[in-house]
Amino acid sequence: MNYQLGHGNAAGYHLVNLSLHLAAVWLLYGILNSMIRQRAALIAASLFAIHPLQAEAVNYVFERATLLATVACLLSLRAWLAGRLWPALAWFAAALLAKEECVAFPVFLLLLHVSQKRPRGERWTIAAMFILSAAAGARVLMAISTTPGAWAGAQAGISREAYLLTQGAVILRYFRLLALPWGFTVDPGIQPVTDWTAWLAWAALALAAGLATLQFKNLRAGFWFLGGMALLLPSSSIFPAADLAADRRMYLPLIAFSACLGLLLERVDLRALAVAGIVLVALSIQRTIIWRTERSLWADAVDRAPGKLRPRIQLARALPPSEALPVLEDAKRLAPDDPQVATEEGRVYLELGQPAQALTSFGRALALRPRDAHALNNRGTALLALGQQEAAVEDFRRALSVDPCQVDARLNLARLGISSELPGGCRFTPDQRRQLQVQ
């Protein structure tokens, strides 16, 4: 719908994201106002609305899925509290369709059920929600196991055990950002942690959870802390992802953590809360300004994680070719044997009109990863720019022998008047299919 109304105009996408965030704030305040004291509910909803930890989920258009899932979960919770259990189930199903990270929402409702000793009949609906969660989880596992290049599961580059151990430190970082909102970045420089410090981090979290159980009954602060942890665990436990940490993963859990903080802060002087609110708004604005351009976003990420490769690669893509080369030189010193760096160098040289240098870089990338279809296609592109059509066609065909769905190689062959039948199992976009048919 966004595309049909505004096509590539980013303002429309941001307007929808912001509207969804405001809807979540409104729903959260209404729900909490019926569950906890009004002052605590107001503080909690305000924290959820203006905390800079929320900026990434709202500013990043791709994270609309998280916003949609959170709004649907809040609608489910509102229906649940009103005793409309099956509408609550339907809203939860909608949340799962938006983003599967909300699979632990039934755990939150189960905690609510136990904390308030609610009607026994709720358990059947909770059981149905768990079945939906299991089905959504199975769908995710199937998708990542059949999608080449998926950055999760077995392709994440980290074992389940190492990911789980690292998440203790990651969760403590989230809490630090919640209490001291400084140091946000789109690409945190977190490395896997498997030594004694990982166990220490989880011991601290276990201690916090143990203390929270002492204030579990009657929706006191402990209940909301445990609820937030339950909502966070799907992305911060045993299911590995290439991104060890991402600030946007706190968006849904913050509906519970903000309620916990609202209860803890409700006796704080109003003037102190107002000053803190002004600071949070200023920090959120500053974070949003950084998100305005790819250049500022990835330059900030490089500053925050100077030893990490990916921010430098992304920054090079956001810069003009002449400025990108020095960044890639730094990346090469950081990771001299990484084929991504050589590939990006080749791309930049092509943009600069230097196909001979591009061929050298693409050749290096191919030497580092000999059976890579993208590397073969890239080298063929450089050969074509040098007028070596026969060699280029050979590389394009070799790329397709490795990966029949390599769309760039197919498009390059089609532009040369060499057609081929499209394989049935490939996932081409409508635009790509049209280009291939036109050619």
pTM tops 0.85, yes or no: yes
Q: What is the pLDDT along the chain (439 residues), one digit of tens a residue?
A: 888 888 888 999 999 999 999 999 999 999 999 999 999 999 999 999 999 999 999 999 999 999 999 999 999 999 999 999 999 999 999 999 999 999 999 999 999 999 988 888 899 999 999 999 999 999 988 888 777 667 777 777 888 899 999 999 999 999 999 999 999 999 998 989 888 999 999 999 999 999 999 988 889 999 999 999 999 999 998 888 889 999 999 999 999 999 999 999 999 999 999 999 999 999 999 999 999 999 999 999 999 999 999 999 999 999 999 999 999 999 999 999 999 999 999 999 999 999 999 999 999 999 999 889 999 999 999 999 999 999 999 999 999 888 888 888 888 888 888 776 666 666 666 666 666 665 5
C-alpha to C-alpha distances, 415 to 353, 384, 407, 419, 435, nearest whole angstrom: 20, 11, 12, 9, 10
H or E segment and range at residue 217:
none
pLDDT attached to residue 61: 93
pLDDT attached to residue 116: 85
pLDDT attached to residue 154: 73
pLDDT attached to residue 7: 85
pLDDT attached to residue 155: 75
Structural domain boundaries in the chain: 2-292, 337-438
Which of left, alpha, beta for 171 (phi over 0: left; psi -120 to 50: alpha)? Answer: alpha
C-alpha to C-alpha distances, 112 to 80, 117, 238, 353, nearest whole angstrom: 10, 8, 24, 63
pLDDT attached to residue 119: 86
Instruction: Classify domain 337-438 by CATH number.
Output: 1.25.40.10
Name the H helices within 291-406. Answer: 294-304, 309-318, 321-334, 339-351, 355-368, 373-385, 389-402
pLDDT attached to residue 117: 81
